Amino acid sequence: MRDLRESCRIAVIQAAPVMFDKAACTVKAVELIRAAAAERAELIVFPELFIPGYPYGMTFGFTVGSRTAPGRKDWGLYYDNSILVPGPETEVLARAAREARAYVSIGVSERDHVNATLYNTNLIFSPEGELLTVHRKLKPTGAERVVWGDADRHYFPIAQTPWGPMASLICWESYMPLARVALYEKGITLYLSPNTNDNEEWQSTIRHIAIEGHCFFINCDMVFTRDMYPAGLHCPEEIGRLPDIVCRGGSCVVDPYGHYVTQPVWDREAVILADLDLTQVPRSRMEFDGCGHYSRPDVLKLTVDDR
């Protein structure tokens, strides 16, 4: 492992998107980047699908073998507010990262430049404003598959940082053991997890992964309420069945030993600051280095398509 900068100030952004409004979401993201920069954050992490929000509870009129015209209109609204990568919104975000002199990770709904497929995507920008990595979610979870397609490229990109290799897996991708190993094999020290997963069991998962990979696990969730859905959607019954707080958050940072650096934050927006001690990463691997001295490549091998 190459020498690492010993400390990193991180800002985990637990915030509500402006649902189905890419312009307003982008403006809010820039404001939050500036707020985090004012706290001297060097790495700023946003949740999954911050632009234009996660359409929790919506079916878009899909049932097995049929669709509805009103659902198609709602999907069209979401499609129109998904963004091109690169595109106008990424230019704004890149400029904000450059002005903040910070790495910025943010989840977006990506609209393909050629076809009409959407992807659940995470972007990482450098402090120079360069778009370093584009990661498309390998397999959308459950009914997400009626909204977003499987990744066709950008499987396991790595951002090289002063604190070591950094990468993201989106929400339940982290339940895919081989996907985790694909990142461990690249030596990641910072494991970013933009997600919409506010259940108790998830907290056990993230602490396990931090220990398994002996890396810092950045758990970044959003918080939003039922009344934040835009007026005029064609599914009032679906929205009406949702709880008042649709996603409660739970964002936090876990160290390479599985201990909370910051406790989970629930039911409110927050900019969660933490100072990470990167010397913990190599020291934590003294007795267990899952893709190093504790591996058996003569017995177990992983083949990765790294497009």
171 is catalytic: yes
Omega before residue 86 within 30° of 0, cis: yes
* Cα dist from 6 to 61, 105, 277, whole Å: 51, 21, 6
Long-range contacts of 119-124 (CB under 8 A, 24+ apart): 119/148, 119/149, 119/151, 120/48, 120/49, 120/144, 120/148, 120/170, 121/85, 121/154, 122/48, 122/168, 122/170, 122/192, 122/194, 123/85, 123/90, 123/93, 124/159, 124/166, 124/168, 124/192
Bridge partner residues of 219 (DSSP) = 193, 252
Q: Given the structure tokens 């900068």, which residue do they identify?
A: 5
48 is catalytic: yes
Would you state the torsion angle of the CA atoms of residues 259, 261, 264, 269, taken in this order, to the nearest 10 degrees?
-160
Give the active site residue among 22, 28, 137, 186.
137
Give the active site residue among 8, 25, 28, 48.
48
Cα–Cα dist 107/100, whole Å: 18
Give the active site residue among 25, 171, 235, 252.
171
Catalytic residues: 48, 137, 171
